[in-house]
Amino acid sequence: MKKNIDDFFTNEIRTVAIAGHVNPDGDCVGSVTALFLYIQKHFPDISVKLYLEQPKEDLMFLVKPIRAIFEKPAAQKVDLFVTCDVSSFDRIGLAGELFEEAGRTLCIDHHVSNTGFAEETVLVPDVSSCAEVLFYMMEEGKIDLGIAEALYTGMIHDSGVFQYKNTRPETLEAAAALLRKGIDFSSIIDNSFNTRTYVQNRVMGHVLEGCRMYGDGLIVAGSITYEEMDQFGATKKDLDMIVAQLRLTKGVEAAVFVYQTDENEFKVSLRSNNVLNVANVAGKFGGGGHVRAAGCTIEGDVDYAERVIVAAIMAELGVS
């Protein structure tokens, strides 16, 4: 698949915009930061801007120093627009209009559900993270300490620090190459992945306490509404590790986490352990993702959202 990222920055490209996906996670923030730093360092004549929804505090160490733009950009045509970790156009979020007006568009991604929305796509679905895809596109000699930190952050977040099934021998070889750049990997893991705030611990405890089992113990589901989030002073940024914890419930194949995103709208996060293709399940509700980690949005109340998603999983697993 080796496609050199440098080949996209041809002479006529003077302005580049980079964007990640809505509700940016560690892979998204790590990938866009690595690409931004790479362009800044190796293509100093290109004017590059990074547009991103503001990530949670634990990931701000990446984007703070490079002055990422957290607002909707003023209409301004760029020569090349690059998305990282974005599987469909509607997930670009605040920079969507800029994408539509760009001279050229490039999508770098690893989602099996990628819709092919850009003119050019570098998609490697069996790779752990978008950061790992980017690693293969960059010449190793051109990866400096800052780029290595950003790529490593992306890789650990989507692979659960090399524990999930998307970790391949090549993933660890890529991580080894990044370690050789001298990154402080244990601090990155602790500060951006392992640490939980008091609020995050309490809100996770609340969801775990109320979670329910279905399908003879094959499915576990937890949920939270705005009202409950308010009780803990939590926002959606405090919820992203809950589904990972639910997945660890002994005996379950599928974990479901439902959380409120609007008055009558709920986001569903899905994880599976061995056989269930959750990208297929999410796809039935207009979402997508990966075989073992996917998501979608459901309109209705919290009980309805949980009921329909659990029913879809049961049908897929052939249990009642």
Residue selected from 157, 206, 247, 290 as contacting ligand AMP according to rule CB under 6 A? 290
- Whose CA is closest to 147, among 32, 59, 57? 32
Q: Which is nearer to ligand AMP, 48 or 246 (CB)?
A: 246
Token pair in block for residue 179: 């370690």
Residue selected from 295, 309, 310, 313 as contacting ligand AMP according to rule CB under 6 A? 295
DSSP helix/strand/coil, 188: helix
Output the residue with the shortest Cβ distance to Mn ion: 27
Smallest distance, Mn ion to C-beta of residue 131, A: 8
Q: Which is nearer to Mn ion, 25 or 58 (CB)?
A: 25
User: In sequence order, what are the residues at sequence separation of 6 or more whose Cβ sits closer than 8 angstroms to the Cβ of residue 257?
Assistant: 207, 221, 222, 223, 239, 242, 243, 246, 268, 269
Angle at 84 between CA 177 and CA 196, to 5 degrees: 75
Distance CA(211)–CA(177), nearest Å, equals 41
Distance CA(2)–CA(61), nearest Å, equals 30
Token pair in block for residue 299: 């309109």
- Token look-up 């279905």 returns 214
287 is a site residue for ligand AMP (CB under 6 A): yes
By CB under 5 A, name the binding residues for Mn ion: 25, 27-28, 85, 129-130, 158
Smallest distance, Mn ion to C-beta of residue 24, A: 7
Q: Which is nearer to ligand AMP, 113 or 128 (CB)?
A: 113
Q: Which is nearer to Mn ion, 28 or 268 (CB)?
A: 28
Contacting ligand AMP within 109-148 (CB under 6 A): 111, 113
297 is a site residue for ligand AMP (CB under 6 A): yes
Q: Which is nearer to ligand AMP, 34 or 143 (CB)?
A: 34
Contact letters (x/-) for ligand AMP, 233-272, by CB under 6 A? ----------x-------------------------x---
Smallest distance, Mn ion to C-beta of residue 218, A: 26
Residue selected from 281, 294, 305, 312 as contacting ligand AMP according to rule CB under 6 A? 294
Q: Which is nearer to ligand AMP, 78 or 294 (CB)?
A: 294
- Whose CA is closest to 262, among 231, 232, 240, 229? 229
- Residue 295 contact partner, candidates Mn ion, ligand AMP, none, CB within 5 to 8 A by sort of partner: ligand AMP
Beta partners for residue 219, in sequence order: 214, 254
DSSP helix/strand/coil, 67: coil
288 is a site residue for ligand AMP (CB under 6 A): yes
48 is a site residue for ligand AMP (CB under 6 A): no
Is residue 290 within a helix (H) or strand (E), and if so which, with residue range? none
Token pair in block for residue 110: 């690893």
Residue selected from 98, 130, 293, 313 as contacting ligand AMP according to rule CB under 6 A? 293
Token pair in block for residue 176: 């080894």
Q: At what angle do helices 130-137 and 169-179 cross, to 10 degrees?
A: 70
Q: Which residues bind ligand AMP (CB under 6 A)?
A: 87, 111, 113, 243, 269, 287-290, 293-297
